[in-house]
Structure 1
Amino acid sequence: MLRHSPSALPACSASSCCSATAIAATDAQRRMNVRKTALSLLRDAEAGDKYIALTLDGYLNANPCDARDRALLSTLVYGVTERRVPLDYFIDALAADPKKVGARMRQILRLGLYQLMYLDRIPPHAAVAETVALGKSAGERAFLNGILRGYLRRGAEIPLPTDPIERRAVETGFPAPIVRLLDNNLGEDADRALRALTTHPPITLAVNTLHRTRKDALAALHAAGIAAEICADAPRGITLLQNLPYSTLCEALGDGNFFVQDEASQIAVTALDPRPGEFGADVCACPGSKSLHAALLMQNTGEIHDFDLHASKLPLITASAARLGIDILDTEARDARTPREDLCGKCDFVICDVPCTGLGVMAKKPEIRFHDPDLYKTLAPLGGEILRASARYLRRGGRLLYSTCTLTRAENEDNFRAFLAENPAFAPLDFTVGSVASRGGFVTLLPNGRRDGFFIGMLQRTGD
């Protein structure tokens, strides 16, 4: 955050001094407004169990602001959400009676402590003063001041939990039940996954190869001064090495020449290998990136039926397809558990990306870490049911992609293996995409700071 200070301004006339004072006051007021907005968005998202990205984007779209305010607001909203566990731990350690800290006051303290603990560029005195000012009464302001100054005096002396799981929760920012869940499912890889999930992954683009090559797109980005590089394992992917407004990308590449898709998702569609002229279905299609990518591989020939439970989401697919010049997608509202009988036995390929707990995308959607850790017990059976229904679409020799963006065995390989055990007319289909190779027809991609955690399973109908 850029700031004006008296030492940075020319020492001249009284009018200059007055201007400096006015600028400082305006800057302080601007920061105060950003913190008030952050508090409101955080309370709204937590109370309504909403995705913070949607809450923040909705506000910014309706209330345009300058780059400094936008950056600070995003940092505070995402940071407090991601670090809620350690923030609450220190609040509870500093409060005389943690149970008496109400929801609003706790959220204000999270904002203040986050700035003290993680934002080096904000001076402690400013973080304390501007957080205390969020209190509505003298009593609230005294309480906030006491907790925050207490942290400055003795925060370093507060011991971390002695329980290993609780300690890792405070250190990583993930609730203990999620740490335990990842331990149970990933074993020795759990810590590596947790570290990666604390890193904000870069944005990955899929190049519309109907219009231009990836090499040409990368050159166009470099010519526009945009730092980017090709994805190691996704043949049509480009990783952006800096955050940019969508409009800047459109200026560099052309609006219809790319779409956003994580590298792991691109790898999954590449493994499926949709071919020109084929007939396919995407049973849980929205927001549509897998179908769009499949259409690129098919050179916009053939046909893909895109189904989704929510009719209100289908315009996302049709709008994206129109923007990209893709016209082989047919959208329809449908529950994936009840396939269209007239299409059964006719598909060359099926994309079956089922609803899941989303543990592999917690870096992008930090609030997922606060979901019920037992949710997989409900979603795993649903995924299995959708897989069984979707397999009916395949003709003999047809291929099915079963994928999730989560990391539990129950939702992933257990469902995949159970289906194969129950259905002798299907067999695992191994694949290699770049350095990613399956074993027994599937692979789990751990999050690595550049791509999501993802499960990719491939099977083929070999009999009737």
Structure 2
Amino acid sequence: MRLHRNLVFAVVDTLNLVFNEGKYADKELANTLKRDKRWGSRDRSFIAETVYDIVRWKRLYAAIAEVKEPYSRPNLFRLFAVWATLKGIALPDWKQLEDTPTRRIKGKFDELSQIRVYRESIPDWLDQVAVQEMGEEKWSKEIASLNKTAPVVLRTNKLKIDSKNLRDLLFQEEIEARSIQNYPDALVLEERTNVFKTQAFKNGFFEVQDASSQLVAPFLQVEPGMRVVDTCAGAGGKSLHLAALMENKGQIIALDIYGNKLKELKRRAKRAGAHNIETRTIENNKVIKKLHQKADRVLIDAPCSGLGVLSRNPDTKWKLQPEFLDEIKSVQREILNNYSKIVKSGGKLVYATCSILPSENQQQVEFFLNSEAGKDFTLEDQKIILSYESGYDGFYMARLIKK
């Protein structure tokens, strides 16, 4: 493989923004990929995959390269040189890459790979928390799985098409996808590609949504004609799925504290042909109070550490701090406390997170059930989805029923 200077420089520029300026990898990559219209899909793939790889293995590569943060530009090139050497890519004789100790890199890699925090490239504190909560063996398996590149999974929009016809349409656009057992609406791509350019996407035939995330809406057990409240709707991936399960009948109220996310949901709902979604920004407590005891079903897709989705957001490992974990747990308790009041008698509530830590999941549900706010609820069912068992994101969901 021959390295092209402008592509390598694009990688280094993006890493500088992610590592030294605390920017989000996905957003910065999107900006970088707009830089040169002449780049083909292979060039873009090289930039994206290399950036994500170096972000994912930052701790390991930095230890091998013997560099510390903040990374100077020469040190970012050293990280790149480590990546290329371990991939077996011959380094060109550029000034930025001279004196790369190829042999030493491989030796240090073998040595450091014996130690989990380097092998899996994670901060010490996170390793300690996860071992404490999950146990050594389970955590080792889980973090190894979360360090693999996430597959691209689509959710068929059943309001417009079925999975078989969608697969055929994608095949006509030279995209191969296969169905997954036990995930009725899911198609996984055989090769990564930009599906947002397809006619099928423009027609609203699918959304990109991980297979584990696709289990949440059916878990809520909605039926056409119900009144459903999605309390932390964001850009609405699960609201759209609920609309399809409800066949556009009944009402979905999508709430969020961020109005701009709900604007995006409106745009997506229009494309998907989901007509039963109404958005409301949570500007104050009155918005929630008006809905007290009014909903048949309530979904709390709670804000969380995001540790279950590290395979698609590897920079979360470096942005997450122990104090954030404490803060988010108190936010989760507050949300459960407040939003559970929306459920009417006989109604159901699903609490879900994309975290793998019991302290954000089972323990939060337990705490709620033992509190004043949770005294009328009982746990009906829960699912703990680990990446190493499913091959997809780590997720948790609990369904509670109100007496």
TM-score of the alignment, normalized to the shorter chain, above 0.5: yes
- Which of these residues, 218, 226, 230, is aligned with residue 278 of structure 1? 226
Contact 1:208 1:259 in 2 (8 A): yes
Structure 1 residues 101 and 259: alpha-carbon distance in aligned structure 2, compared to 1, 3 A threshold: closer
User: C-alpha displacement at 1:382, in angstroms?
Assistant: 0.5
Structure 1 residues 179 and 338: alpha-carbon distance in aligned structure 2, compared to 1, 3 A threshold: farther
Residue type matched to 2:288 in 1?
Answer: R
Q: Helix, strand or coil: the match of 1:357?
A: coil
Q: Cα deviations across residues 205-235 of structure 1 (Å, max 9, x unaligned)?
A: 1111111222322333345543222222322
Residue type matched to 1:342 in 2?
Answer: K
* 1:244 equivalent in structure 2: 193
* 1:154 equivalent in structure 2: 104
Q: Cα deviations across residues 387-423 of structure 1 (Å, max 9, x unaligned)?
A: 1111000111111110111111221111111111122
Q: Cα deviations across residues 270-306 of structure 1 (Å, max 9, x unaligned)?
A: 1112110111111111120100000001100111111
Contact 1:43 1:107 in 2 (8 A): yes
User: C-alpha displacement at 1:66, in angstroms?
Assistant: 1.5
* 2:98 equivalent in structure 1: 145
Contact 1:234 1:263 in 2 (8 A): yes
Contact 2:8 2:47 in 1 (8 A): yes
Matched length: 396
Q: Which has the greater radius of gyration? A: 1
Contact 2:196 2:202 in 1 (8 A): no
Residue type matched to 2:50 in 1?
Answer: L
Q: Helix, strand or coil: the match of 1:170?
A: helix
The 2-side partners of 1:63 and 1:288 are apart by 32
- Which of these residues, 347, 350, 355, is aligned with residue 398 of structure 1? 347
Structure 1 residues 290 and 364: alpha-carbon distance in aligned structure 2, compared to 1, 3 A threshold: same
* 1:186 equivalent in structure 2: 134
- Which of these residues, 16, 36, 60, is aligned with residue 43 of structure 1? 16
Contact 1:262 1:451 in 2 (8 A): yes
User: C-alpha displacement at 1:173, in angstroms?
Assistant: 2.1
Structure 1 residues 323 and 193: alpha-carbon distance in aligned structure 2, compared to 1, 3 A threshold: same
Residue type matched to 1:366 in 2?
Answer: P
Q: Cα deviations across residues 167-195 of structure 1 (Å, max 9, x unaligned)?
A: 11211222332222222222121111111
Structure 1 residues 224 and 336: alpha-carbon distance in aligned structure 2, compared to 1, 3 A threshold: farther
User: C-alpha displacement at 1:34, in angstroms?
Assistant: 1.2
* 2:399 equivalent in structure 1: 458
The 1-side partners of 2:105 and 2:315 are apart by 26
Q: Helix, strand or coil: the match of 2:204?
A: helix
Q: Helix, strand or coil: the match of 2:192?
A: coil
User: C-alpha displacement at 1:374, in angstroms?
Assistant: 4.2
The 2-side partners of 1:337 and 1:109 are apart by 52
Structure 1 residues 455 and 225: alpha-carbon distance in aligned structure 2, compared to 1, 3 A threshold: same
Q: Helix, strand or coil: the match of 2:305?
A: coil
Percent identity of the aligned residues?
A: 25
Residue type matched to 2:232 in 1?
Answer: C
Does 2:274 align with 1:301? no
Does 2:119 align with 1:171? yes
Contact 2:159 2:247 in 1 (8 A): yes
Contact 1:221 1:253 in 2 (8 A): no
Residue type matched to 1:54 in 2?
Answer: K
* 2:383 equivalent in structure 1: 443
Q: Helix, strand or coil: the match of 1:42?
A: helix
- Which of these residues, 150, 153, 160, is aligned with residue 204 of structure 1? 153
Q: Helix, strand or coil: the match of 1:287?
A: coil
Alignment of 1:287-436 (within 5 A): 287-334=235-282, 339-370=287-318, 371-422=320-371, 423-430=374-381
- Which of these residues, 15, 24, 45, is aligned with residue 71 of structure 1? 45
User: C-alpha displacement at 1:376, in angstroms?
Assistant: 1.5
User: C-alpha displacement at 1:58, in angstroms?
Assistant: 2.2
Structure 1 residues 445 and 296: alpha-carbon distance in aligned structure 2, compared to 1, 3 A threshold: same
Contact 1:401 1:459 in 2 (8 A): yes
User: C-alpha displacement at 1:154, in angstroms?
Assistant: 2.8
* 1:23 equivalent in structure 2: none
Q: Helix, strand or coil: the match of 1:235?
A: strand
Alignment of 1:54-65 (within 5 A): 54-64=27-37, 65=39
Give the gaps of 5 or more residues in structure 1. 4-27, 93-97, 134-143, 431-441
Does 2:56 align with 1:86? no
* 1:136 equivalent in structure 2: none
- Which of these residues, 76, 81, 90, is aligned with residue 123 of structure 1? 90
Q: Helix, strand or coil: the match of 2:254?
A: strand
Q: Helix, strand or coil: the match of 1:263?
A: coil
Q: Helix, strand or coil: the match of 1:205?
A: strand
The 1-side partners of 2:140 and 2:181 are apart by 24
Structure 1 residues 76 and 49: alpha-carbon distance in aligned structure 2, compared to 1, 3 A threshold: same
User: C-alpha displacement at 1:385, in angstroms?
Assistant: 0.6
Alignment RMSD = 2.3
Contact 1:336 1:386 in 2 (8 A): no
* 1:10 equivalent in structure 2: none
The 1-side partners of 2:183 and 2:312 are apart by 20
Residue type matched to 2:234 in 1?
Answer: C
The 2-side partners of 1:153 and 1:58 are apart by 35
Does 2:73 align with 1:104? yes
Contact 1:279 1:303 in 2 (8 A): yes
Q: TM-score, normalised by structure 1?
A: 0.80
Q: Cα deviations across residues 41-75 of structure 1 (Å, max 9, x unaligned)?
A: 11112233222011101222354321232122112
The 2-side partners of 1:100 and 1:253 are apart by 41
User: C-alpha displacement at 1:105, in angstroms?
Assistant: 2.8
Residue type matched to 1:443 in 2?
Answer: K
The 1-side partners of 2:379 and 2:353 are apart by 17
- Which of these residues, 177, 200, 203, is aligned with residue 228 of structure 1? 177
* 1:213 equivalent in structure 2: 162
